[in-house]
Amino acid sequence: MESEKSGLYSSSSTSAEGFKYDVYLSFKGPDTRKTFTDFLYTDLEAFGVRIFRDDDEFRKGEEIGLDFLKAITESKICIPIFSKNYASSKWCLGELAKMVECKRTSTQLILPIFYDVEPSEVRHQTGSYEEAFHIHEIFE
């Protein structure tokens, strides 16, 4: 695995199926970066899985970069790690929207992980997800 100048971990080869990455990891940095996400990344990498993940701390107010949107389309599997504050990030929600769009138009899979949050909280937008979506509505 090589570290690119943009601060993104990735590998450079393309698979026979046309996907550059096996997995795209989407996560809220402060919630899981130094814990669960790092462990998952390390374990997947040890098995030779080609992974795309953001290695830089997200800066508030920035729009999701084209590199990230492209990486999502070039990934066979997308893994959003739903944590307490995932929905508070417009960046994470932008990634998730692109994942859903790609799933509808290709053979891509989405394998969600629920980290310290119940699936029903995400599905029904209750708890921290209700709060986050309410805040997004206020500022839109």
Query: Which residues have a catalytic role annotated?
Result: 95
Instruction: Measure CA 70 to chain center.
Output: 13
The structure tokens listed for 137 are 């509505």
Residues pairing with 54 in the sheet: 8
CA distances from 124 to 22, 56, 129 (A): 29, 31, 8
Q: Which amino acid is at 71?
A: A
Who's near 21: CB < 8 A, 6+ residues apart?
Answer: 10, 11, 50, 51, 52, 71, 74, 75, 76
